Structure 1
Amino acid sequence: MKKLPFLLFLILIALTACSYDSANPASSQDNDKKAAEQSAHSSATEADTIKEEVPSSFSFTYKDQQFEVVYYYKSFLEYIEKAEQQPENLNGLYIETIINPIAEERGIRLSKGWGFGTPRELETLEKYLKSLIDNQDTIHKIITDSLKKSANELQPGADKYVYVFPANPEDNHVMETMEGVAASAWSENFFAIQIAPPYFEEKSLKQAVAHEYHHTVFFKKNELSYTLLESVLIEGKADTFAKIIYPDIQMPWSNFSSEENESQTWKVLKENMTSAMPSIQDDFFLGNTSKGLPQWANYKIGNKIMESFIEEKPNITIGDWTDMPANEILEKSKYAEKH
């Protein structure tokens, strides 16, 4: 059975609740009409109430910095309603309802690559949204607490906008391995969080907020360099920062499974440090068995270099090593000498 849009479903339920007086057909019709009008009005009011209850945004000031957390749920509910009426136009509706408004509001155009592809499993997406709304208090507390803890360790330097989305249900396999949370930073002001409720772990959200927060602070003073070494250390720095805030949290990409894995990854990194080729960057993120690279090799080796750096230079502040060039981090870490 085709699934009715959620708000329309509420109205239809109310309309079918009208009574019928068989003893007086004319009166019954009048009563039916009045009852229908009353029910429709009641349902519309209830629908409006439900829409109002869907979280939208929350702003707060901390450490003299402005933070805004934007829960992008209403737009996804709107997308679902439109998509059920126009199933042949999902891509267009998604761009119109989700992608373009963010570009207009914040000057950020989300890539429609991994994580932001057009959702097609509408029923599952609606279940995701319901779960996120039901667990709003927990999600909101984790995000705001993690932002404040991050700001305690490293001043933001610029206002922050955190957008929270339901994950695309089609990405369920990757979201499961990432414990239900994916995140990405787009500028010094903006980062996005995607949550897949079936696999959601609170620790993953805590770590993701701290990790992406660090990226935004890094972007404030540093231009992106696309060499392999720089991309590796960007992730290593952000993970190290998250570990300082949450020392008991270990993520699946934190460590190598064996010394052999680490040794081979370091070998490939040494040979390609200055490379800016997208293919080698992809190898370090996705893994490449022919080169002996595990999945998330960039995070793993970045973490290891930063661990060595902190061990060698424990008195260098977070702010200083955040802005320190990647080649200097590597040199002072003495990681190369140890391996």
Structure 2
Amino acid sequence: MKKLFVPISSILLTILLLGCSEDVAPNPEPEGESVEKDEAAENIQKTTESEFAILKIGNQQFEIFSYYDAFDEYVALAKEQPAELNDAYAQTIFQPFRQNAFDEKSVLEYINLIIFTPPQDIIPLQSSLEALSDKEAEFQSAIEESLKKSAESLPGGNKTIHVFPANPAFIHGGSPELNASGVALNEEVMILFVHSSLETEELKHTVSHEYFHLIDMEKGAFESSTAESTLLESTIMEGKAVAFSLLNYPGINLSWISNEDGKVTEQARNLFMEQKDSVEMGVWEDFLNGNPVKGIPASANYIIGHEIMQSFLKNHPEIDVSEWLGMSAEEILAGSDFRE
């Protein structure tokens, strides 16, 4: 999935909540252990600074943070203290990310995202990190290229990009409909998840897709979260992001979203139209995760959103991206042939 706009499934991480609260007193520690943690924190800060790049495109500035070395540090701490994975993750990954992405701003609304679950299988993670080492420069170049192309097509404000090695538990054979490779947390913060089998063209497409979401939120075209929007609004949001990324990278393989196998049936389409104005989270999850009882396949919202948006663009080739970005979901639907 290319977008996880808000928490769709949460695991409350107590350690992360404590790490974000200034009023919680830390547990007392032996003096030697405290010194070792202070030294580790200092090394982590140096690592975070070294994995940092600034990209300027026109009036925009992009700060790109990579967390490869931070994950190496997490692996080292996890091996030393396997029962304290939450502590290790908060210290090596989440706190540096928090500082880089939000400075001193609150991040409580993001701490229960499943993407911030500490990886449990350390050996597979270590192997994944080793396999990634030869692709870091290639991925960095692809990210910068896609940001440049996207920003030139649709300029906006300053953004931060955060490159995370993917949690091996969340990689399902590299299948794009199952593997979340990008998240736009708010109008300024994008997270990318990379692994050694990820193709650079797919990464470029993901960056462009998530960049559109950042601008969509920045311009106020999509003001609410998925949890507060209608099924139609959240579906068109994804259709627009896919359309934008296809403008920049038209050759990308999106067979999983084109409904070539006909898995989104007329029954599913009719049900979508019946429930398009629903704000129930369960309805949105049916079209995201699938509901076999109702005849809804997984990723139906992406497939339908893509179908509606491509139909709209075919009917209105004269409308520029900056214009259809601001159009409502109902306007996009009305300008397509999907109702028919």
- TM-score, normalization by structure 1: 0.78
Q: Give 1 or 2 for the bigger CA radius of gyration.
A: 1
Answer with 316-325 or 127-136: which moved more. 127-136
SS at match of 1:193: strand
Answer with 270-279 or 111-120: which moved more. 111-120
Q: Which stretches in structure 2 are left out of the alignment for 5+ residues? A: 1-42
SS at match of 1:87: coil
Structure with more of its chain in helix, by fraction: 1
Q: Following superposition of structure 1 onto structure 2, how do residues 99-110 of structure 1 map, counting pairs within 5 Å? A: 99-107=94-102, 108=107, 110=110
| Partner of residue 205, structure 2 | 207
The CA deviation string for residues 284-323 of structure 1, in whole angstroms up to 9 with x for no partner, is 1111111111111111000000011001111111011111
SS at match of 2:171: helix
| Partner of residue 5, structure 1 | none
Q: CA deviation at 1:262?
A: 4.1
* Distance in 2 separating the partners of 1:211 and 1:248: 14
| Partner of residue 242, structure 1 | 245
**1:298 paired to 2:298:** no
Q: CA deviation at 1:258?
A: 4.0
| Partner of residue 4, structure 1 | none
Give the letter aligned to residue 256 of structure 2: W
The CA deviation string for residues 233-279 of structure 1, in whole angstroms up to 9 with x for no partner, is 11000000011111111225321144462423321211111212221
Q: CA deviation at 1:103?
A: 2.6
| Partner of residue 317, structure 1 | 320
The CA deviation string for residues 163-202 of structure 1, in whole angstroms up to 9 with x for no partner, is 00011111232644459761010111111001122x3122
Return closer, same or farther for 1:55/1:291 CA change in 2, 3 Å cut-off: farther
Q: CA deviation at 1:334?
A: 3.4
| Partner of residue 333, structure 1 | 336
| Partner of residue 68, structure 1 | 63
Q: Following superposition of structure 1 onto structure 2, how do residues 54-93 of structure 1 map, counting pairs within 5 Å? A: 56-93=51-88
The CA deviation string for residues 70-108 of structure 1, in whole angstroms up to 9 with x for no partner, is 101222122111111111111232233322332343234
Is the contact between residue 179 and residue 200 of structure 1 (CA under 8 Å) also seen in structure 2? no
* Distance in 2 separating the partners of 1:284 and 1:55: 42
* Distance in 2 separating the partners of 1:262 and 1:323: 30
Cα RMSD (Å): 2.3
Q: CA deviation at 1:203?
A: 2.1
Is the contact between residue 172 and residue 178 of structure 2 (CA under 8 Å) also seen in structure 1? no
Q: CA deviation at 1:118?
A: 1.5
* Distance in 2 separating the partners of 1:226 and 1:181: 21
Return closer, same or farther for 1:179/1:202 CA change in 2, 3 Å cut-off: farther
Greater relative CO (CA pairs within 8 A, separation 6+)? 2
| Partner of residue 188, structure 1 | 187
Q: Which stretches in structure 1 are left out of the alignment for 5+ residues? A: 1-47
The CA deviation string for residues 135-162 of structure 1, in whole angstroms up to 9 with x for no partner, is 122101110001111112111x210111
| Partner of residue 43, structure 1 | none
Is the contact between residue 55 and residue 133 of structure 1 (CA under 8 Å) also seen in structure 2? no
SS at match of 1:334: coil
* Distance in 2 separating the partners of 1:118 and 1:67: 27
Q: Following superposition of structure 1 onto structure 2, how do residues 125-274 of structure 1 map, counting pairs within 5 Å? A: 125-155=125-155, 157-173=156-172, 175-178=174-177, 182-197=181-196, 199-222=197-220, 223-224=223-224, 225-259=228-262, 261-274=264-277
SS at match of 2:254: coil
Is the contact between residue 54 and residue 64 of structure 2 (CA under 8 Å) also seen in structure 1? yes
Aligned residues: 286
- Identity percentage of aligned residues: 34
* Distance in 1 separating the partners of 2:178 and 2:194: 9
SS at match of 1:68: strand
* Distance in 1 separating the partners of 2:114 and 2:199: 21
SS at match of 1:276: coil
- TM-score, normalization by structure 2: 0.78
